[in-house]
Chains A and B, each alone.
Chain A
Amino acid sequence: DIQMTQTPSSMPASLGERVTISCRASQGISNYLNWYQQKPDGTIKPLIYYTSNLQSGVPSRFSGSGSGTDYSLTISSLEPEDFAMYYCQQYDSSPLTFGSGTKLEIK
């Protein structure tokens, strides 16, 4: 199984700040990497698919990049609604696996 390691596990940040969350795969995943956001009420929505493609309706302050084993999600300027959990997910091979999550908290 491909292990996905997300860092940091939690991140205090301020409104307007630029933040980057990292995700490292245990082997190359050929850009088959998605990002999801989970709100405290459990609601999950996709943000980025295939490394850098923005899901329809997601604000342009979100962006994704990476290649090989290393990927990242960047939020250019934090808004109040961005404080949530973030998960990466690979689909290069079965079983599909998720990172352990990054909690973005208000500083």
Chain B
Amino acid sequence: EVQLVESGGGLVQPGRSLKLSCAASGFTFSNYYMAWVRQAPKKGLEWVATISTSGSRTYYPDSVKGRFTISRDNAKSSLYLQMNSLKSEDTATYYCAREDYSASPYFDYWGQGVMVTVSS
């Protein structure tokens, strides 16, 4: 059974940093692109970052580029999101998601999410 379990969320002050983790199990982690998607309170979904299987390629929207860094450790089946220079608008639930490229790219498994609150 595929499982994605996020951790590392919490309350952080504006301008500070936080690192999220996602522990994956039930599949060969190194074979899949992985991503982070977030959802601000009472809002819709927003793609945050994607990383290739080896970690050599990363992709971000402009809203987080230069502040967030996605990374992975295939030996530990773990995905990470380093968030720096946090802003109040980064307050959201952050979901770890697996990307399936076998047929056509889509997020085929999602974690339960971890809450990040940016506030003084």
Q: Which residues in A have some Cβ–Cβ distance to B below 8 Å?
A: 1, 32, 34, 36, 38, 42-46, 49-50, 53, 55, 87, 89, 91, 94-101
Contact = CB atoms under 8 A, between A and B. Distances in A.
Interface residues of B, number: 22
B65 to A, nearest CB: 10
A91 B62 CA distance: 16
B47 A95 contact: yes
Contacts of B97: 44
Given A44-B95, A98-B44, A98-B45, A53 B107 contact: no
Nearest to A6: B44
Nearest to B107: A46
Interface of B: 44-47, 50, 59-62, 93, 95, 97, 100, 103-108, 110, 112-113
Contact of B93 (A42, A50, A101): A42
A4 to B, nearest CB: 9
Contacts of B60: 95
12 contacts: A1-B61, A34-B106, A34-B107, A36-B107, A42-B113, A43-B112, A44-B45, A45-B110, A46-B106, A46-B107, A49-B103, A98-B44
Contacts of B108: 46, 49, 55
Contacts of A43: 110, 112
Nearest to A99: B44
Contacts, number: 59
A87 B44 CA distance: 8
Given A42-B113, A49-B106, A53-B103, A94 B59 contact: yes
Nearest to B93: A42
B44 A95 contact: no
B42 to A, nearest CB: 10
B45 A89 contact: yes
Contacts of A55: 108
B44 A50 contact: no
Q: Which of A1, A94, A95, A97: most chain B Cβ within 10 A?
A: A95
